Amino acid sequence: MKSNVFEQIGFSPEEAASLKMKSELHSQIVKTIKKRGYTQADLQKRLDEPQPRVSDLMTGKISKFSLETLISYAEALGLHPQILVGAR
Protein backbone atom coordinates (compact mmCIF):
# COMPACT_ATOMS: atom_id res chain seq x y z
CA MET A 1 0.00 0.00 0.00
CA LYS A 2 1.21 3.50 -0.81
CA SER A 3 2.18 5.44 2.30
CA ASN A 4 1.62 8.93 0.89
CA VAL A 5 -2.03 9.99 0.78
CA PHE A 6 -1.33 12.07 -2.33
CA GLU A 7 -0.11 8.96 -4.17
CA GLN A 8 -3.21 7.11 -2.99
CA ILE A 9 -5.44 9.69 -4.68
CA GLY A 10 -3.57 9.48 -7.97
CA PHE A 11 -0.65 11.89 -7.97
CA SER A 12 2.68 10.71 -9.35
CA PRO A 13 5.29 9.80 -6.71
CA GLU A 14 7.18 13.03 -7.50
CA GLU A 15 4.10 15.26 -7.21
CA ALA A 16 2.98 13.39 -4.10
CA ALA A 17 6.35 13.95 -2.39
CA SER A 18 6.21 17.70 -3.09
CA LEU A 19 2.59 17.99 -1.94
CA LYS A 20 3.37 16.06 1.24
CA MET A 21 6.27 18.43 2.05
CA LYS A 22 4.10 21.48 1.41
CA SER A 23 1.28 20.06 3.52
CA GLU A 24 3.53 19.20 6.47
CA LEU A 25 5.28 22.57 6.37
CA HIS A 26 1.96 24.43 6.12
CA SER A 27 0.65 22.48 9.10
CA GLN A 28 3.67 23.44 11.22
CA ILE A 29 3.36 27.09 10.19
CA VAL A 30 -0.32 27.24 11.16
CA LYS A 31 0.32 25.43 14.47
CA THR A 32 3.04 27.96 15.30
CA ILE A 33 0.80 30.91 14.39
CA LYS A 34 -2.04 29.62 16.56
CA LYS A 35 0.26 28.72 19.46
CA ARG A 36 1.71 32.24 19.46
CA GLY A 37 -1.69 33.89 19.04
CA TYR A 38 -0.75 35.94 15.99
CA THR A 39 -3.53 37.91 14.35
CA GLN A 40 -3.78 38.35 10.60
CA ALA A 41 -2.51 41.92 11.08
CA ASP A 42 0.54 40.55 12.94
CA LEU A 43 1.15 38.12 10.08
CA GLN A 44 0.84 40.82 7.43
CA LYS A 45 3.75 42.64 9.05
CA ARG A 46 5.83 39.58 9.94
CA LEU A 47 5.44 37.88 6.55
CA ASP A 48 5.30 41.12 4.53
CA GLU A 49 2.17 39.96 2.74
CA PRO A 50 -1.25 41.56 2.08
CA GLN A 51 -4.30 40.43 4.06
CA PRO A 52 -5.81 38.25 1.27
CA ARG A 53 -2.55 36.27 1.05
CA VAL A 54 -2.48 35.78 4.83
CA SER A 55 -6.11 34.66 4.68
CA ASP A 56 -5.23 32.09 2.00
CA LEU A 57 -2.45 30.77 4.24
CA MET A 58 -4.70 30.48 7.26
CA THR A 59 -7.56 28.84 5.36
CA GLY A 60 -5.32 26.11 3.96
CA LYS A 61 -5.16 27.14 0.32
CA ILE A 62 -1.67 25.65 -0.01
CA SER A 63 -1.94 25.29 -3.79
CA LYS A 64 -1.47 29.07 -3.93
CA PHE A 65 1.96 28.82 -2.28
CA SER A 66 5.23 27.40 -3.52
CA LEU A 67 7.40 25.29 -1.27
CA GLU A 68 9.95 28.12 -1.33
CA THR A 69 7.36 30.64 -0.13
CA LEU A 70 6.30 28.37 2.72
CA ILE A 71 9.95 27.95 3.70
CA SER A 72 10.41 31.73 3.81
CA TYR A 73 7.26 32.08 5.96
CA ALA A 74 8.54 29.40 8.32
CA GLU A 75 11.88 31.20 8.64
CA ALA A 76 10.09 34.52 9.27
CA LEU A 77 8.26 32.80 12.13
CA GLY A 78 11.50 31.52 13.65
CA LEU A 79 11.15 27.96 12.39
CA HIS A 80 14.01 26.20 10.62
CA PRO A 81 12.64 23.78 8.05
CA GLN A 82 14.93 21.05 6.78
CA ILE A 83 14.58 18.48 4.03
CA LEU A 84 15.66 14.96 4.92
CA VAL A 85 16.58 12.64 2.08
CA GLY A 86 16.40 8.89 2.36
CA ALA A 87 16.03 5.90 0.08
CA ARG A 88 12.57 4.58 -0.70
Amino acid, res. 16 = A
Report the percentage of the chain scoring pLDDT > 70.
98
**Distance of alpha carbon 75 from alpha carbon 77, whole angstroms:** 5
Q: Map residue 81 onto helix, strand or coil.
A: coil
Res. 88: pLDDT tops 90? no
Q: Dump pLDDT digits (tens) for 13-28.
A: 889 989 999 999 999 9
Domains of the chain from N-terminus onward: 19-88 (1.10.260.40)
Res. 87: pLDDT tops 70? yes
Which pLDDT band, with edges at 50, 70 and 90, does 2 fall under?
Answer: low
Selection from 36, 21, 20, 19 nearest residue 76 by Cα: 36
Return the half-sphere exposure (C-beta side, CA atoms, 13 A cut-off) of residue 3: 2
Q: Dump pLDDT digits (tens) for 32-53.
A: 999 999 999 999 999 999 999 9
Selection from 86, 67, 85, 78 nearest residue 25 by Cα: 67
